[in-house]
Structure 1
Amino acid sequence: MELNGKVVVVTGGASGIGAAMARRFAAEGARGVVVADRDIEAASQVAKEIAGLAVQVDVSVAADIERVVDVATAQYGPVDLFCSNAGIAIPGGIELPDEVWNQTWDVNLMAHVHAARTLVPRMLERGSGYLLNTASAAGLLSQFDAPYAVTKHAAVSFAEWLAITYGARGIGVSCLCPGAVDTPMFRSASEVRQELMSGGHELTADDVAQTVVDGLRDERFLILPHEEVLTYYQSKAEDIDRWLRGMQKLHARAD
C-alpha cells in the first residue's frame, strides 16, 4: 500500500508512535490525516503541523470510533487506512482489580474490534481498505505486566483473524509489534525495566514510523521494527519450554 493520496486515521495520534506515524503519512503525501486522541490539545498540535484534522476520541467507546470514521469521511472521503494505535499499560499482575483488566481490555483489544465493525462493511463495499493494528512485542513474547501482555496477545490474534477472514476480499491487514520505543509509555517504566526491555538501544518513534511505511508498502502482516523480536518469536515456537525458562529469568531480574 502506498500512502500517497490516501485518507488515514491514526488513533493515539497525539504522541509517541501515533504522532510519528501521522507526520510520516503526511510526508508520504496522504490526502488527509486524522489525528484522533483523548488529548485533543496535543492532537490538535500534531494536526496543525501536518495540515490534518484533530478529533477527540475514547477508543474504548464504539460510538466514538464510528464518529471518527464519519468525520474523516465527511472531511476527506472514505478512509483508506485506519491505524488502531492507542494503547495503555498498567503495571502489575493477578493482583490488579477487575477494573484495570477491563479498562486494558477495552483499549488494547476492543478498540480494534470497534474499528473493524465500523470499517470492514464499508471497505468490503468499496472492495479495498487497510487496517493497521498496533499490538506489541509483548503480544508475541508475554513480557512483564499481565493485563498488557494478555490483551496485546489478543490484539495479535484478532489481527490474524481479520487477515484470514477478509484478506482475500480486498482488505489489507497488518499488525505492528514494536519492542522498546522512546515514547512516554516507555519512559514511564522503571529504569531497570527500560534496560531489560531495550538492552540499551530503544528505537525512536520516527524509526518505527519508517518501518510502518515500508511494511505497508510490502503489505506484510507482522511489522517488526526490532529485528530481534522475530528471532525471539521463532525461538519460542521451536522450544517453548526453553523459552519459558529464559523469560522466567528475565522476569526475576525485572522484579
Structure 2
Amino acid sequence: MSRRAIVTGAAGGIGLAVARALVARGDQVVLTDLDEARLAEAAGDLAQPYVVADVASDDGISALLTRADQEFGGVDLYVANAGVFRGFGLDAPESDWALSWDVNVMAHVRAARALVPRWVDGDGGIFAVTASAAGLLTQLGSPTYSVSKHAAVGFAEWLAATYGDRGVQVCCLCPMGVATPMIEGGESREESEARLGHKAVSTAGAVLDADTVAQTLLEAIDAKRFHALPHVEVGRMYAQKAADPDRWLAGMQRYRASLEV
C-alpha cells in the first residue's frame, strides 16, 4: 500500500535520499526545505510537490499539512529529518543553542502536535525522526548538537510510549557519519572544537552514503522497530554505555585526546 509522506530537510542529504527511496516504492511525497533552488530541483527530479517552509514553526508545518491534504488527501508518514549542526565548545553562543533546540527538537514537537490528534482519531500514522548516534552516545566538540539530539531521541521515546499503542508508530534514525554536506569540509573549520566535532563524526565509524541510511530507516519502519541503526556498532556502544557509564566515559576521554593530537 502506498503511503502519503512529508519529508523535511529534503533538498539534499538524508532527506532527499529518503524521499527518493519512498518514491521508488510508489509512495507520494511532499518535500520541504528552506533552500528553494535545491528543493525545486529535487522535487522536479522526483516529480513530487514541494513547499518552501520553516518546519520549526507552526505556520510552516500547517502549510505542509495543507499541501499534503490538497495533493494526497492526508498524511500517513512524517519524516522529521531537518537538522542543524551548529555550536561548538562550552562557549557556543546562545543563538546556536536556540537554533539547535528549535530545529533539532521543537520542530518534532510542533509537527507531532499537529499530526498525532488526527492519527489517533483516524487511521493512524508513522512519525519518523532523524536523530543521531549523538543522541544515544554523545557528540564530541558540540554540546548543542549532543544535547539537542539526546532530546530528539527522548521525545521520540516519549511519543512511542504514549501513543505507540494508539495507532502512532514511531521510528528513530540514529546514524553516525553520513556523507552529506553537513559534515563535508568540517575539518577545515577555524575553531578547534568544530574541527574536533567533525573529525569525531568522520572517524568514529564508516561514513555511509545517504541512500544506505535511508534504506535502513525504511526497513526499520517496515519491521516496526523503534531504532533504525545504519551503523550496527552503535547498538553495542549504547549497551556498553548503559552497563558501565564510567568506563564508557573514560573511553570517550581517550578517544577525544587521540583526536586532539
TM superposition score category, shorter chain reference:
over 0.9
- Could you say what secondary structure the match of 1:52 adopts? coil
Aligned to 2:49, which of 49, 53, 56? 53
CA deviation after TM superposition for structure 1 residue 65, in Å: 1.0
- In the alignment of these two chains, the number of paired residues is 251
- Could you say what secondary structure the match of 1:10 adopts? strand
1:240 is the counterpart of 2:224: no
Aligned partner of 1:178 in structure 2 is 175
- The residue correspondences of 1:114-133 to structure 2 (distance < 5 A) are 114-133=110-129
1:194-217 superposed Cα distances (whole Å, 9 cap, x missing partner):
554343621000110111111111
Aligned partner of 2:69 in structure 1 is 73
Across the aligned residues of Structure 1 and Structure 2, the Cα RMSD in angstroms comes to 1.4
- Letter in structure 2 aligned against 1:252: A
- Could you say what secondary structure the match of 1:59 adopts? coil
CA deviation after TM superposition for structure 1 residue 91, in Å: 4.0
- The residue correspondences of 1:103-252 to structure 2 (distance < 5 A) are 103-144=99-140, 145-190=142-187, 193=196, 194=198, 196-199=200-203, 201-252=206-257
CA deviation after TM superposition for structure 1 residue 160, in Å: 0.3
Q: In 1, are the aligned partners of 2:199 and 2:259 still within 8 Å (CA)?
A: no
Ranges in structure 1 where 5+ consecutive residues have no aligned partner? none
- Could you say what secondary structure the match of 2:117 adopts? helix
Whole-angstrom CA distance in 1 between matches of 2:21 and 2:202: 24
CA deviation after TM superposition for structure 1 residue 135, in Å: 0.5
Aligned partner of 2:192 in structure 1 is none
Provide TM-score, normalisation by structure 1. 0.94
CA deviation after TM superposition for structure 1 residue 49, in Å: 1.3
Q: In 1, are the aligned partners of 2:84 and 2:103 still within 8 Å (CA)?
A: yes
- The residue correspondences of 1:10-21 to structure 2 (distance < 5 A) are 10-21=7-18
- Could you say what secondary structure the match of 1:175 adopts? strand
Whole-angstrom CA distance in 2 between matches of 1:232 and 1:119: 33
Q: In 2, are the aligned partners of 1:127 and 1:171 still within 8 Å (CA)?
A: no
Identity of aligned residues (%): 45
- Letter in structure 2 aligned against 1:224: L
1:172-196 superposed Cα distances (whole Å, 9 cap, x missing partner):
0001101100000121321775554
Whole-angstrom CA distance in 1 between matches of 2:114 and 2:245: 37
CA deviation after TM superposition for structure 1 residue 88, in Å: 0.3
Whole-angstrom CA distance in 1 between matches of 2:176 and 2:51: 28
- Letter in structure 2 aligned against 1:159: A
Ranges in structure 2 where 5+ consecutive residues have no aligned partner? 189-194
Q: In 2, are the aligned partners of 1:7 and 1:33 still within 8 Å (CA)?
A: yes
- Letter in structure 2 aligned against 1:175: C
Whole-angstrom CA distance in 1 between matches of 2:199 and 2:100: 24
CA deviation after TM superposition for structure 1 residue 67, in Å: 1.3
1:85 is the counterpart of 2:81: yes
Whole-angstrom CA distance in 2 between matches of 1:89 and 1:242: 27
Aligned partner of 2:6 in structure 1 is 9
- Could you say what secondary structure the match of 1:169 adopts? coil
Q: In 2, are the aligned partners of 1:211 and 1:223 still within 8 Å (CA)?
A: yes
Aligned partner of 2:60 in structure 1 is 64
Whole-angstrom CA distance in 1 between matches of 2:86 and 2:201: 16
Whole-angstrom CA distance in 2 between matches of 1:225 and 1:127: 29
Whole-angstrom CA distance in 2 between matches of 1:245 and 1:162: 32
Taking structure 1 as reference, are residues 125 and 188 closer, same or farther at Cα in structure 2, changes over 3 Å only? farther
